[in-house]
Amino acid sequence: MATPIDSPAQSLPAEERVPMPGSARLGRAFAIQLWASTLILTVLVLIWALSGAGGFWPVWVFLPFALALAIHGWVQLLRRHPAIWRRPRMTFALALTGGIALSLTLFNVGVWGASGGGSFWPQWPALAFATVLAIQASVVLFAAPAQRQMSERIDVLTSTRAGAVDAQEEKLRRIERDLHDGAQARLVALGMSLGMAEQKLDAAEPEEARELLAEARVGAEHALRELRDLARGIHPPVLADRGLEAAVRSLADLSPMYVSVSVDLRERPAAAVESAAYFVSAEGLANAAKHAHASRVEIRIARRGAALHLEILDDGRGGADPEGSGLRGLRSRVQALDGTLRVLSPPGGPTVLTAELPCA
């Protein structure tokens, strides 16, 4: 029997995959600045050339323009390519400071060279820039792990909350569709049958009225069954009344496979945790029967420290897609509770579905 993977799945922050917001606007601004600077400098060089080409005074305009372009371009590069600064012991602020310090140092060297050389005074501002950069790097060295963990945590929570909202909206649409196509249609037919039976009674046709009433009774039973199934899909009554173990065992009793259930919980977890564990179990059983064609499933639920550990193992053919719609919806449900969901399903099986749900 396969054993579950203990290490949680890692996901890259969203900033690693897409440009940061506003990067396109920043790129257009940089292009405008570049073209405007080039045009102005070209005009100044032409004026210098036509005026006798003495001392090259346009350099004093060129140097500030070059400094502004360098700083603007560095900011744009950092925002469009976050991988430059998203690395150990590095932050956006530290990378930005380093680029600005280098730009200012080169600017001072340019001023020193354009003014005729002499004593190399740019070393003193460069030393000051290096000191500031060293102090900032020291702060980042001690604070970066906590900041990075917080940033990654925010990224994960943002994506999982969005996924939970999407899953909830999809469930509401499914409930509306099931009500419209199922119970509502049957209740409409039930009303019509009762109306026709009433007419038959008024016309003294008891046999036909009896047939219509029998048809209406069957329709009412079907509608009631569909409403119960729909309510069970939202939140099964047995889960609220008797807890997670009874609810999962009821799933096992309804399954066409042999299902063994092992539950070790000294106290009931929160309702949201119970609900998530129930639906993970339900989806795992459904996938094992429908896709894996399994004949045996084991469900193990236990409290481990501050988390509820749920493991579903089947002897099916494996090859489950972790990004399939069903498992993706379960992952969103679990991550919305700050939990993790892992799937190990090599071709040929077995499949191991593991969920960790915080209970503290």
User: Do 160 and 22 lie in a common domain?
Assistant: yes
User: Do 331 and 213 lie in a common domain?
Assistant: no
Q: Are 246 and 238 in contact (CB under 8 A)?
A: yes
User: Do 46 and 137 lie in a common domain?
Assistant: yes
User: Of 76-85, 166-175, 236-245, which gets the smallest average pLDDT?
Assistant: 166-175
Residues in CB range of 5: below 8 A, 6 or more apart = 342, 344, 354
Q: Are 302 and 264 in contact (CB under 8 A)?
A: yes
Phi, psi (degrees; rounded to nearest 5) at 305: 65, -125
Alpha carbon distance 264, 281 (integer Å):
15
Q: Is residue 160 part of a domain?
A: yes
Dump pLDDT digits (tens) for 259-269.
999 998 888 88
User: Do 197 and 305 lie in a common domain?
Assistant: no
Q: Are 340 and 9 in contact (CB under 8 A)?
A: yes
Dump pLDDT digits (tens) for 26-75.
578 888 888 988 899 899 888 888 887 678 888 888 999 999 999 998 98
The confidence score (pLDDT) of residue 13 equals: 39
- Segments forming the whole domain that contains residue 102: 14-164
User: Do 318 and 332 lie in a common domain?
Assistant: yes
The confidence score (pLDDT) of residue 152 equals: 60
Q: Is residue 332 part of a domain?
A: yes
Q: Is residue 7 part of a domain?
A: no
User: Do 192 and 209 lie in a common domain?
Assistant: yes
User: Do 39 and 154 lie in a common domain?
Assistant: yes
Phi, psi (degrees; rounded to nearest 5) at 273: -70, -45
Dump pLDDT digits (tens) for 273-332.
888 888 888 888 888 888 888 889 999 999 988 889 999 999 888 888 777 767 777 787
Among 173, 207, 234, the domain boundary falls at 234
Alpha carbon distance 209, 107 (integer Å):
99
Q: What is the mean pLDDT of residues 222-238?
A: 64
CATH number at residue 254: 3.30.565.10
State the Rg of the chain over Cα.
34
User: Do 36 and 142 lie in a common domain?
Assistant: yes
Give how many domains the chain has, as a whole number.
3
User: Do 71 and 147 lie in a common domain?
Assistant: yes
Q: Are strands 296-304 and 258-264 parallel, antiparallel or unpaired?
A: parallel
Dump pLDDT digits (tens) for 122-181.
999 999 999 998 888 888 777 655 565 666 666 666 655 655 555 555 666 666 665 655
* Residue found by looking up tokens 């150990």 in the block: 88
Q: Is residue 3 part of a domain?
A: no
